[in-house]
Structure 1
């Protein structure tokens, strides 16, 4: 069973509908036990890093998700769900994340003519093949909405980048743990193909 973690932030129904569109049932859950019972776990999110971590810790879902990752289950972070995987975020202060991928989360640098948040379609440049990208094709376009981006300590954790205007991690991957800074559920057929790939892992 695929589960989508509900910690009060994010367009959960859109993610659930995307899985349904590719023929896979996914349940929205807010109980650690249901995360532990799942075969696949999705950590979505839209909103503030600190608020998300506070709720995950309050409910114990942070531990349940970490256990799922360490047990080797396929786990997927989406947007804020990618940022939560990292050690530290500097969004409105300095806050500790799940620390599943060493690194930090920082705001895009202010530059003349550069709008923040980064919003809209952008192209992925694939650094290395991973199961999520199987059959996707070269230079796919996906939909982003974010003001912050990850900076992994180990460049090998980056599976794909986009430019805004400098390269930033668009997909990170460490064994069974993968995360997208963009929204696959808003990325039309490319995003649906990614969710199908994840469900088949």
Structure 2
């Protein structure tokens, strides 16, 4: 029997992490919920979950020095997967109720409120538009995924002329306006939706990610 890839789920006080742990286990990973730096750095994959407000999640991450460990993994080309607010904090900043908070700045963009003329939070199943060659969405491009959010990144302005690096693959969805549903960028990937709540399609997305570790 082949070895199950090790996946650390970052434990920083975020809610709903146990459903992510169970989903990753179903998808074929050996999972540990932890904030131990050595485990976070050495696991085959790191998952950064998140629910709640952008600023509060950033504060909680900083309280355990998590941005440093996440950054070290990314710098070392070690896979990281962000989920929901764990996706949002990878962008430059978030603005909620007029209050701006700095994110990790791995990608350009600002997390802002979805349009006021639609029902928020955007809660429920929605389709996505995945790019050609996506690893996360291989075989599930036409499936629906489960979203729960009122804020999102609604534009993408990435300089694709930098050297010869492959540009990130960006997946979009729509709720009142187009917004970024997922990004795949070398070792770093993230989804605005919750794969752990997205049934078999979500399990397959996690399986795709785990297989790529």
Question: What TM bracket, shorter-length normalisation?
Answer: over 0.9
State the 4+ residue runs in structure 1 displaced beyond 6 angstroms: none
Cα pair 1:129 1:159 within 8 Å, conserved: no
Q: Does 1:51 align with 2:56?
A: yes
State the Cα distance separating 1:158 from its structure 2 match.
5.0
Residue 65 of structure 1 aligns with which residue? 70
Counterpart of 1:199 (choices 197, 205, 210) is 210
Cα pair 2:183 2:190 within 8 Å, conserved: yes
TM-score, normalisation: structure 2: 0.88
Counterpart of 1:96 (choices 92, 96, 102) is 102
Residue 145 of structure 2 aligns with which residue? 142
- Separation (CA, whole Å) in 2 of partners of 1:74 and 1:145: 24
- Separation (CA, whole Å) in 2 of partners of 1:154 and 1:23: 33
Cα pair 1:74 1:198 within 8 Å, conserved: no
- Between the two proteins, the alignment pairs up a number of residues equal to 198
TM-score, normalisation: structure 1: 0.93
- What are the residue-to-residue correspondences of 1:9-88 with 2, within 5 Å? 9-88=14-93
State the Cα distance separating 1:99 from its structure 2 match.
0.8
Residue 163 of structure 2 aligns with which residue? none
Residue 179 of structure 2 aligns with which residue? 168
Say what the alpha-carbon RMSD is for the aligned residues. 1.5
- Separation (CA, whole Å) in 2 of partners of 1:37 and 1:139: 34
Cα pair 2:78 2:187 within 8 Å, conserved: yes
Cα pair 2:81 2:189 within 8 Å, conserved: yes
- Separation (CA, whole Å) in 1 of partners of 2:172 and 2:20: 22
Where does the alignment leave 5 or more consecutive residues of structure 1 unmatched? Answer: none
Where does the alignment leave 5 or more consecutive residues of structure 2 unmatched? Answer: 1-5, 160-166
Change (3 A) 1:159 1:128: farther
| Aligned partner of residue 78 in structure 2, secondary structure | coil
**Which protein is richer in helix relative to its size?**
1
State the Cα distance separating 1:5 from its structure 2 match.
0.6
State the Cα distance separating 1:97 from its structure 2 match.
0.7
Cα pair 1:162 1:169 within 8 Å, conserved: yes
